Structures are given as structure tokens and as C-alpha cells.
């Protein structure tokens, strides 16, 4: 007689992707701690620079500030628990803490794409409609765009977790370094059609639609640059290159993570771990360096601060 799978209310999850580091725990802990400290300091520096300098109180830099705040939010959702797990011999996470990490990581991804979409829209207005820019991009509109970029992801991820948390599970093993929603849904004992449908809708709204909006705005920008003067092209290149580089960097990591979560890829375990962490570590590290070096206003102010010439 066929026995139904054992259902259980899971109190904790086991993260099984951690390698046996033996005597290298302390070394890995120091490396990750230094990486986290650099991410915190670099993003905080640029947030402070934008906030205290009135010359940077423009929509483009305000949207950048929102982006840097999100890098801090996403990093804090990952690194503290990662550091604890590196030093631990038993890689378990209590279920509420696991769902809290899912909330932080998934919100971070959604906010990142919406921030990048808002920044692309801002550049589109500035380059394609320079005379109407100040009229279109008012302080009220900037505040609304930032509020939507943050509020909608929080609401969407709360719904996602509210569908996953009550599931009766037949296992509690997550083959990752951090908690993932789909890794939990896959272990449900019953039909998860609702979770899968909402997960697909969530991916389309949070990732696909912002990406389409970004591509559309850049097609319009390229069209204007092709017809415009040399000065217009230089302005577009100087402000849009960091944005496009940030988008490509983040999308690479996200695409791999989505594909790896849904399908089993034959990738070496170490490479799989590095790529699964890519979008959560490289983006917060990459953005401050990219924007700090490529945008002249921020670069010059940071240089003056470092030299003590304020």
C-alpha cells in the first residue's frame, strides 16, 4: 500500500550548499567581513555625499541615492547570516529568520530593477526632452517614483511569502547558501499551482516589465543620439554608460539564479556557489565604484573629501 509523504511543520531549514572549510573558516570569515565592510562604507559614503551637497540635489542623484540605500538593504539581508553560517558547524536557520531573509533578498531584487527603470526614464526625459525636463521631473514626481519603487516590491514579496509560509513541507533542505522561496515551495507535500502562478506573475511584473521599459527608453535615447549633436551624444554616453553597465551586471546574476532555481544545471559546485552569490555581492560592490568614478560631479566631490578640501 502506497504511503503518503510525511507532512510536517518545519521549524528550521538546513542550508546544504556550504562546503567543509575545515581550518579555513576564519580566513573566509575575514574575507567576507572585509567585503561587507567595504560595501557598507562605500555605499554610505556616496549616500552622505549626495545628501549633504546641494549641487547633487537633482533627480538623477536622488534616484542614485535610492539605489545605494537598496544596496545596503540587500547586503544586510545576506551578509550577517552568511557570516554566522561560515563560523557554524551546523548550517541551520530558523524558519521565521529564513522567511525574513527571503523578504530582504527578493525585495532587494525587485527594488533594484524598479530603481534602474526609474533612472532610465529620468535619462530618457533629460536627453530626449531637455527643455521640458524640469517641468516633467518635479520634486513631487521624484518622490512618487521612489515611493512606488520601494512600496510595490515590499507588498509583492509579502504576498509571495504569505503563500509559501503556510505550506506543509515534506523536507527542509535548501541547497543554497541563503534561503530561497522556490527552494521551499519545491518541498511542499501538496499542489503548489497557486505559488507557481503567482511566482511567474511576480517575476514578470518585477523583472520583465522593468527590463522592457529600460530597453524601450534606451532605444529612444539611441535614436535621439544618432540624430543629435556631438554634445548630446557625449552627455548620453557619460550618464548612461554606468547605468547600462549596472543593469547588465545585475541581470547576468539574476538570470543565472532564476535558471538555476528552476532547472538543474550541470555546473561545478564551487562555480554554482559563486554565481548564485554574484548578484547579491557584486552589484552592491560594483555600483559605488562605477558611479563614483564615472559621474564627474560625484567623483570630484569624493576626491575633495578624500583630500580634505571640502
**Confidence bin at 3 (pLDDT 50/70/90):** very low
Arithmetic mean of pLDDT over the chain = 85
Q: State the pLDDT at residue 177.
A: 86
Closest CA to 39 of 290, 246, 219, 281: 281
Examine the pLDDT at 103 and tell me if it is beyond 90: yes
**Domain extent for 284:** 12-307
Q: What ranges in 165-263 are assigned the alpha helix state H?
A: 181-185, 193-203, 209-227, 230-262
Q: Is residue 133 part of a domain?
A: yes
Q: Is residue 7 part of a domain?
A: no
Whole-structure pTM value: 0.89
Q: What is the pLDDT of residues 32-56, one digit of tens each?
A: 999 999 999 999 989 988 888 888 8
pLDDT of 218-245, one tens digit each? 888 888 877 767 776 776 777 777 888 8
Query: In this predicted structure, which of 28-37, 142-151, 242-251 has the lowest mean pLDDT?
Result: 242-251
- Number of separate domains in the chain: 1
Percent pLDDT > 90 in the chain is: 33
Does residue 260 lie in a domain region? yes
Give the Cα separation of 287 and 68 in Å (integer): 8
Query: Can you tell me the distance from the alpha carbon of 103 to that of 156, in angstroms, rounded to the nearest whole number?
Result: 10
Please check whether residue 4 lies inside any domain of the structure.
no
What CATH number corresponds to the domain at position 105? 1.20.1070.10
pLDDT at 300: 74
Residue 1 lies in a domain: no
267 pLDDT more than 80:
no
Residue 5 belongs to some domain of the structure: no
Does the residue 251 lie in any domain? Answer: yes
Compute the distance between CA of residue 303 and CA of residue 68 in angstroms, rounded to an integer: 19
Distance CA 48, CA 292 (A): 13
With bands split at pLDDT 50, 70 and 90, how would you rate the model's confidence at 164? Answer: very high
Cα-to-chain-centroid distance, residue 248: 12
Q: Which residues are CB-neighbours of 93 under 8 A, at least 6 positions away?
A: 12, 13, 14, 15, 81, 85, 101, 179
- The secondary element (H helix, E strand) that includes residue 93 is strand 92-94
Per the domain annotation, does 25 fall within a domain? yes
Amino acid at each position: 500500500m502506497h504511503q503518503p509523504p510525511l507532512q510536517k511543520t518545519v521549524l528550521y531549514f538546513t542550508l546544504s550548499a556550504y562546503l567543509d572549510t575545515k581550518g579555513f573558516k576564519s580566513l573566509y570569515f575575514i574575507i567576507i567581513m572585509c567585503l561587507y565592510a567595504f560595501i557598507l562604507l562605500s555605499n554610505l559614503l556616496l549616500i552622505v555625499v549626495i545628501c549633504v551637497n546641494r549641487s547633487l540635489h537633482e533627480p538623477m542623484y536622488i534616484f542614485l541615492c535610492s539605489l545605494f540605500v537598496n544596496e545596503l538593504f540587500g547586503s544586510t539581508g545576506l551578509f550577517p547570516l552568511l557570516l554566522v553560517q561560515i563560523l557554524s558547524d551546523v548550517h541551520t536557520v530558523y524558519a521565521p529568520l529564513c522567511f525574513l531573509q527571503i523578504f530582504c533578498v527578493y525585495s532587494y531584487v525587485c527594488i533594484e530593477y524598479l530603481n534602474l527603470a526609474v533612472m532610465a526614464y529620468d535619462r530618457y526625459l533629460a536627453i530626449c526632452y531637455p527643455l521640458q525636463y524640469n517641468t516633467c521631473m518635479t520634486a513631487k514626481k521624484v518622490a512618487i517614483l521612489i515611493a512606488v519603487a520601494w512600496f510595490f516590491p515590499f507588498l509583492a514579496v509579502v504576498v509571495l511569502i504569505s503563500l509559501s509560509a503556510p505550506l506543509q513541507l515534506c523536507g527542509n533542505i535548501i541547497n543554497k547558501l541563503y534561503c530561497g522561496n522556490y527552494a521551499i515551495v519545491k518541498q511542499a507535500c501538496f499542489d503548489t499551482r497557486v505559488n507557481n502562478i503567482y511566482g511567474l506573475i511576480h517575476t514578470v511584473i518585477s523583472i520583465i516589465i522593468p527590463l522592457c521599459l529600460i530597453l524601450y527608453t534606451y532605444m529612444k535615447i539611441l535614436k535621439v543620439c544618432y540624430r543629435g549633436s556631438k554634445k548630446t551624444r557625449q552627455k548620453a554616453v557619460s550618464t548612461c554608460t554606468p547605468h547600462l553597465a549596472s543593469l547588465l551586471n545585475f541581470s547576468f546574476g539574476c538570470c543565472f539564479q532564476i535558471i538555476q532555481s528552476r532547472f538543474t544545471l550541470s555546473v561545478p559546485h564551487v562555480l554554482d556557489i559563486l554565481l548564485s552569490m554574484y548578484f547579491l555581492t557584486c552589484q552592491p560592490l560594483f555600483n559605488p565604484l562605477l558611479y563614483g568614478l564615472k559621474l564627474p560631479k560625484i567623483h570630484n566631490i569624493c576626491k575633495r573629501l578624500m583630500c580634505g578640501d571640502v
